[in-house]
Structures are given as C-alpha cells and as structure tokens.
Structure 1
Amino acid sequence: MASSYRVYYSFPFHLLLFLSSLLSSSADLSFNFYANSCPLAEFLVRNTVRSATSSDPTIPGKLLRLLFHDCFVQGCDASVLIQGNSTERSDPGNASLGGFSVIERAKNAIEILCPATVSCADIVALAARDAVEAAGGPVVEIPTGRRDGNISMAANVRPNIIDTDFSLGQMIDAFSSKGLSIQDLVVLSGAHTIGASHCNAFDGRFKRDTKGNFELIDASLDNTYAETLMNKCSSSEESSSLTVSNDPETSSTFDNQYYRNLETHKGLFQTDSALMEDDRTRKMVEELASDGESFFQRWTESFVKLSMVGVKVGENGDIRRSCSSVN
C-alpha cells in the first residue's frame, strides 16, 4: 500500500515545453486551478479515494481504467459517466467499468462546499491520479480546469477503445490518434500493474476441447501461468463474471512488476505480451523492468499527457451538477 510520505517527480524540460504549449492554447487550464474558487477540491477527491480504497483494494485499478476509457472517447470530459440508453456507459465495451460511486461521492462532497464549480472531468482525472498514489505509486501534479461534455454516444466507444487482442500496430495507431507516443503506450500499459480483469477479456488465448476444458493456443504465454489462468477461469458459465488480477505478483501495489512479468511471459492480455515481442517496444519494457524509479518518472510524464487528451475548456464545455446526467 501507499507509504507514509509522498514522493513528487519533477517534469523534465521537454515535458515542460509540451505542457506550456498546451496550457498556452488552453488558457482556462492550469495547475491549482481551484485555489480560490474551491481550495479543498483536490483534498476532498484524495480523501474520498483513500477512504474507498481502504475498504475495497480494487478501487485504484477501477478509477485508473475509468480515466482511460473516458479520455480515449471524445477526450477527458467525463462523458463516460453519463447514464442512459445509447450512452458510452451503456456500451458493452464499458460494461466492466467500475468506480462510478467513488466519483459521485467526491462530486457530492464538493458540491456541498463549492456548488457548480468543479467539473466531473477534473474529478475523474484527479481520482485516477490519487488512485495511483493510494496504491503506492508516484504523486503526480496535473493541471485542472477541464469542462464536462454533454454528449455521450455508445457508437463512439468501439472505434476508440483498445481491445485486448489488438496488435502492437493497432495500439500504436490508437495512441497516436490521441497525440500519445509509443513510449506513452508502453508506460501507460504499466497501469496493468494494478486492477483485475474478467476471464472473457483474455479467453481468446485459450480454446475449449470437446470436454469443455481449456487448452493453451497462445505460445507467447508462460505455460505455468497459463495453467493458473485456465484453472481460475475454468467455469464457462461464469467466465464473464470471474476476475483475475492483472499482475499475478503484486496485484494491489503500483510498481514496475508488470514489466518484469512481461519478461517472464506473464502478461495477462495479448496486448501485454505484444510489447515484449516487438523490437519497437521490447527495449523500453526491459528498461522499465529494471528501474522502478524510471517507471515512476516516465509515468508522471505520460499520465499528464493522457489526462489532457481532448480536454474541453471555457465555453466548450459545462460543469455538470450530477456526474451521471447532463444539467
């Protein structure tokens, strides 16, 4: 779990230039945006995340995944939170998302002190940031001032999210379309160091024989690890509800164990294994596996970039009073 002290990572010069260019084009986005209008905003989000995590250690992984699914579809605008028919949240690709109640609790607490001031989009980004810290990861300072989107369409989900059987080329294309690099892809894949996934998210790596038993068909997977997965996911009736830890070694701790798992062919998804099998990404995996501090530093850079994908600011968005519905 998180240590008793907080470790901050400073931004390298190239990232400062990147942030400067983004912030200059988005005058309404800045660090400590709510210093005057709602000074307790970030404190309330952090406390809500910590409280939820103390009673449910799966919360950090859920909050981190929620940000990915929000930002990759129409940008980081909290549109994934909107409930209703044909919304992003209703799409089967988002059926396994969680952490919504944590966002709502944080929003409700903030609304009491600062009504109509803090966006749900900022809360989602801050909650994901704080989830990493709660799991023992680095403390990342992110700019705030995002506005909420009021359009949420299920049809936008599938063309934008990454399926677990994507090739490396498909992943690179998806990240590139969001302004994210190959390094961002490898680093942000490290999010799989926490959290859990349903068996049907990776059962394409196996097939069932005539007796209904699993057989390994993906040669990139370690045989012993594959056997463990097959045993855990053996019930066909429950394969859509059974879950397995993304990281078989340190599932509740945000660290670089994910990359060491890849080196021993214990990546849960085909998309994980692909990073170790391709020359374009293998060296980065090996470097991150050998240096946890480097992973934290690079995570800080890539996470900030992710949290700013397609942000809405000023008149381009809204501040929703309820995160699950439009005003």
Structure 2
Amino acid sequence: MGLMSTLKLFTFFVIFLCLSVQLEAQLQVDYYESTCGIAEYIVKDEVKKAFFRDRGLVAGVVRMHFHDCFVRGCDGSVLIDSTSSNTAEKDSPVNKPSLRGFEIIDNAKTRIEALCKGVVSCADILAFAARDSIEITGGFGYDVPAGRKDGRVSLASEVLANIPAPTFNLNQLTQSFANKGLTQEEMVTLSGAHTIGRAHCTSFRSRLYNFSSTASQDPTLDASYAAQLKQQCPQANNDPNLVVPMDPGSPSTTDVGYYSGIQANRGLFTSDQTLLSSPATANLVDQNVNNEDLWQEKFAAAMVKMGKVKVLTGNAGEIRLKCRVPN
C-alpha cells in the first residue's frame, strides 16, 4: 500500500473515530451542570410533591416516558396538546385513558424556565421525572444522560403501530421492542415497570368474559385472581374509567412483586403472562424474583438505553418554551 493510500486510510479512520465519539457524546450525564445546574433538583422536587399528593401519578410518568420513546423516539412529542387541525399522541385511544402526570412536567418546566430560559428540553425533563418516579417508589436511582431536543410533530395516528398492546403474545412483544433496538431480555426487564400503577378494565376484560368458544375466561389466568377481577370489573359495567392495580400486593412500590405475580399466573395483561410462554423468558422471570437487586440494576440500565431511542440532538429539534406547544 502506497503512502498516499495509507494516509487516506488513516484520515478516514480518524474521521470515523471522531464521529463515533461525537455520537456517543450527544447525550451526557450532568449535561446542564454549567447552564442550569438546578434543573434536575427542580424535577425531583415536583415528582416528590406529586407523589405525596397522589402516589399513582408517578407510575403515569414512567409510562409516559415509555410511550414517548416508542413513538418518534424520546423527543417529548407525547407532551404536545392537540389542536383544531391535529390530534396529538396524548389523545390517541391508546394513550388518552392511561397517561397522566402531565402537570408534573408542566410545573417543573415553568420553574426551570423562570431560572434558565430556553435551556432545558421537555424531553429531558420527562426522562429525569421517570427516573425520579422509579427512585421515589423504591427503585434504584440512576444517572440520566441528557441533551435531547424536543420534536415539533405529534400525531395520534402513529401511536397504535408503535406501542405494544396488552394483548400481545411473546413474539409480538419481542418484535415491538426489537424495532426500537431493545433485546428480549430488556423487554422482560422493562415489563417490570408494571410493578407500579393501574390498568383500565377495558385493557384486559377479554380475559375475563367470553374468552373463546371453549373457555369463558383465559385458562392461563389464576382462577381466584380472575374471580377477584370480575368483582372489580363487572361484565355489566362498561365504564371506561374502571381501574385496578397492576400489582395488587404493592401497587406503589417498585419491586419484583410483578414477576412473582406472573409466576402465580396473576399477570394482568396477556402481554404480562406471556413472559412464561418460553423457557428463556420464564427463566428471566425466575431470575428477577430470586435476585431483586440484579433486576433493579438491569432495569436502571434498560431505562437509560430506552431513553436514547431516536433522540434529537444538536440542531435537530428545539427547546420548547412550553411543553404542550411547539415554539
């Protein structure tokens, strides 16, 4: 190889290395340290106030971050309000009944804007708030790399195809997460977010009544648990606002009770109970039950990875002045 060819190859390698480092550096821990060092403290304070007002709100924030990242990436698009000419993500039939806690993000943003105008993105505030929600319910705290920019587009029509449904089987669930660059193990790990919060009866009612031509209820559902759910979600009552806790034993605590429930055939959604349908995922469920600290560590790592899905950085996107409205 001649000198010129060697130099060209070396130059290409250096450029590639620099680009790789730049991509890795797009999101950084303590990103706002010099520009708005108080931002994460404000978010944590708003999460804390919300938790003591209504413990269920923080579960809504964790779900909101997940639903944000799975549609258009973690760009805060789930926070945008609908207009007369556009139905936004939050008003999709998938999101509208289940997402709550928007006021936590609004309150944090208002306080941050008063101190550091136009510096901290709504997408980052949501990622911080999800972390703080996990921590305040007993989960491990973790560092959140920041530097996300906010998206300008939010379309309800994009939600259904991107958010995994509660009726998904294992293959569908695995593929849904793979589409976002997440492994099957990370899917099982992140499913543990169902350890906190609530579910609407409409999302699992089909497991209780007229399940199939041969079974009135889902045979994979523990019979006594099914009887309890039928009392909470009567067949004659189609109120869309009826809810039950996802993990009845500890609905406000981030723990492995969710996985213990699955072992006992008490996974609320089909997409929960399906984690026992293969040896590989059933083994992960068992591991999580047997080593809660390990699951907490894996969950924190998986949340960080999910928080990097298709982020907007640099000149892409914007810093919204109000989280509900693009600038």
Q: TM-score, normalised by structure 2?
A: 0.89
Structure 2 counterpart of 1:314, one-letter code: G
1:24-35 correspondence runs (5 A): 24-35=22-33
- Pair 235,219 (structure 1): closer, same or farther in 2 beyond 3 Å: closer
Contact 1:190 1:259 (C-alpha < 8 Å) held by counterparts: yes
Which residue matches 1:105? Answer: 107
Alignment match, 2:12: none
- In structure 2, the partner of 1:190 is 192
Paired amino acid for 2:105: I
User: Aligned partners of 2:223 and 2:253: how far apart in 1?
Assistant: 25
Mapping of 1:212-251 within 5 angstroms?
Answer: 216-234=216-234, 236-251=236-251
Alpha-carbon distance between aligned partners in 2 of 1:189 and 1:53, rounded to the nearest angstrom: 22
Q: Which residue of 2 aligns with 1:38?
A: 36
Computing the radius of gyration over CA atoms, which structure comes out larger, 1 or 2? Answer: 2
Contact 1:199/1:240 (8 A) holds in 2:
yes
CA distance in 2, matches of 1:22, 1:131: 32
Give the fraction of aligned pairs with identical amino acids, expressed as a percent: 38
In 1, are the aligned partners of 2:79 and 2:323 still within 8 Å (CA)?
Answer: yes
Instruction: Tell me the distance in 2 between the aligned counterparts of 1:198 and 1:57.
Output: 17
**Pair 1:157-2:155 in alignment:** no
- Aligned-residue offset at 1:59: 1.3
- Alpha-carbon offset, residue 277 of structure 1: 2.1
Q: Return the offset for 1:185.
A: 0.3
State the Cα distance separating 1:123 from its structure 2 match: 0.6
Q: Distance in 2 between matches of 1:90 and 1:314?
A: 29
Task: Give the C-alpha shift of residue 26 in structure 1.
Answer: 4.8
Query: In structure 1, which of residues 66, 69, 76 is the aligned counterpart of residue 67 of structure 2?
Result: 69
- Alpha-carbon distance, 1:263 to partner: 0.6
- Mapping of residues 1-327 of structure 1, within 5 Å: 24-84=22-82, 85-96=86-97, 97-207=99-209, 216-234=216-234, 236-327=236-327
Aligned partner letter, 1:91: S
Distance in 1 between the 2:20 and 2:61 partners?
A: 25
Is contact 1:23–1:29 with CA below 8 Å preserved after alignment? no
Instruction: Report runs of 4+ in structure 1 exceeding 6 Å deviation.
Output: none
Aligned to 1:16: none
Q: Secondary structure at the match of 2:315?
A: helix
Q: For residue 151 of structure 2, what is the amino acid of its counterpart?
A: G
Q: Residue by residue, what CA displacement relative to the aligned partner does 1:115-161 show, whole Å, maximum 9, x if unpaired?
A: 11000000111100000011011001110010000011111111100
Q: Deviations over 1:177-218 (max 9, x none)?
A: 100000110000000000001100111102259xxxxx8521
Distance (whole Å) between structure 2 residues aligned to residue 170 and residue 308 of structure 1? 22
AA matched with 1:182: Q
Residue in 2 aligned with 1:3? Answer: none
Indicate the SS of the match to 2:206.
Answer: helix
Instruction: Give yes or no for contact 1:198–1:239 (8 Å, CA) kept in 2.
Output: no
Q: Is the 8 A contact 2:209 2:235 kept in 1?
A: no
Conserved 8 A contact 1:196-1:245: yes
Query: Is the CA contact (8 Å cut-off) linking 2:210 and 2:217 kept in structure 1?
Result: no
Distance, in Å, in 2 between the alignment partners of 1:239 and 1:208 is: 18
User: How many corresponding residue pairs?
Assistant: 302
Aligned-partner Cα distance in 2 for 1:169–1:23: 35
Distance 2:201 2:267 in 1: 14
| Paired residues of 1:89 and 1:154 also in contact (CA < 8 A) | yes
Partner secondary structure for residue 197 of structure 1: strand
Instruction: State the SS of the aligned residue for 2:244.
Output: strand
Q: 1:45-66 deviations in whole A, cap 9, x for unaligned?
A: 0010001101101012100000
Q: Deviations over 1:226-279 (max 9, x none)?
A: 111110011644441111000011111101111111111110100000001222
Alignment partners' CA distance in 2, 1:23 and 1:138: 28
Aligned partners of 1:160, 1:76: CA distance in 2, in Å? Answer: 13
Unaligned runs of at least 5 residues, structure 2: 1-18
Q: How far off is 1:221 after superposition?
A: 0.7
* 1:17-59 residue CA offsets vs partner (Å, 9 max, x unmatched): xxxx987415332110000100000000001000110110101
* Conserved 8 A contact 2:208-2:218: yes
Q: 1:180, 1:306 within 8 Å by CA — same for their partners in 2? A: yes
Structure 2 letter corresponding to 1:116: G
Q: Which residue of 2 aligns with 1:10?
A: none
Aligned AA for 1:257?
G
2:196–2:247 contact (8 Å) kept in structure 1: yes
The answer as to whether partners of 1:125 and 1:307 remain within 8 angstroms in 2 is yes
SS at match of 2:209: strand
Consecutive unaligned residues in structure 1, runs of 5 or more: 1-20, 210-214
Q: Please say which of residues 57-66 and 231-240 is displaced more in the overlay.
A: 231-240
